[in-house]
Structure formats: structure tokens, C-alpha cells
Amino acid sequence: MFNSLGWPEISVLVVLGLFVFGPERLPGMAADAGRALRRVRVYAKGLTADLKAELGPEVGDLDLASLNPKTFVRRHLLEDDDDWASAATARPRPLLPTEPAPWDPDTT
């Protein structure tokens, strides 16, 4: 979350907080901020669990982190993908009863 913040930025924020809120109120405000952050994390985990339960077992293994645009681009555009070679030699999956048979030019 604070990947772009370094120690100089954090120390400036602490000193600014001391000047704005004072040394008496700053520890209490930091504790309140920690509790609020914990509460938001619990809500987010509950929301994720509810979303997976409501969507059903088909998407029960849905990883919401994989829907992050950065993760999506990194996985699909920036990584080497050798799956095409294994897909070319893989056996085709069986057809479902509702799927039409693929067209084969040798059978017509």
C-alpha cells in the first residue's frame, strides 16, 4: 500500500502530524486509524467471501486479485507464454451433449 513512500516521506508526515494534532492527540489518532484500517480489511474479506458465495461454485475459485489491471497486463502481455506449444499437441476435450460436432472436411 505504501510502496511509493520512503522513510523521508514518512518522517515528514509524522512531524506534520505532531504539529497539526499535537503530541497528546497523535497516539490516539494513530490507534483510531489502525482500528479503522483493520475494520476495512475485515469488511473487504467478508465482501469477497459473500461475492464468491453468491456467484456460486462455478466461480468459487475466482481470484479477485487477478482482476487488477496491472496483474492482468503483466500476466497476459509481459510474461512468456509457452502454452500454445502444449495446446497444439494436447488431445481435444470431449464435446458436451449440447455442442455441435466440429466440421471435418474428410467426412463430407
pLDDT tens per residue, range 1-15: 556 778 888 889 888
- Domain for residue 34, yes or no? yes
- Domain for residue 101, yes or no? no
**Contact of 33 with 41, CB cutoff 8 Å:** no
CA 95 – CA 35 distance, rounded (Å): 53
- Domain for residue 3, yes or no? no
Helix (H) or strand (E) holding 20: helix 7-55
Residues 64-99 pLDDT 10s:
677 778 877 777 776 665 555 555 556 666 767 777
CA 90 – CA 81 distance, rounded (Å): 16
- Domain for residue 36, yes or no? yes
- Domain for residue 93, yes or no? no
- Domain for residue 33, yes or no? yes
Domains contained in the chain, number? 1
pTM: 0.45
- Domain for residue 31, yes or no? yes
- Domain for residue 91, yes or no? no
CA 54 – CA 17 distance, rounded (Å): 43
Residue 61, domain extent: 25-79
CA 42 – CA 48 distance, rounded (Å): 10
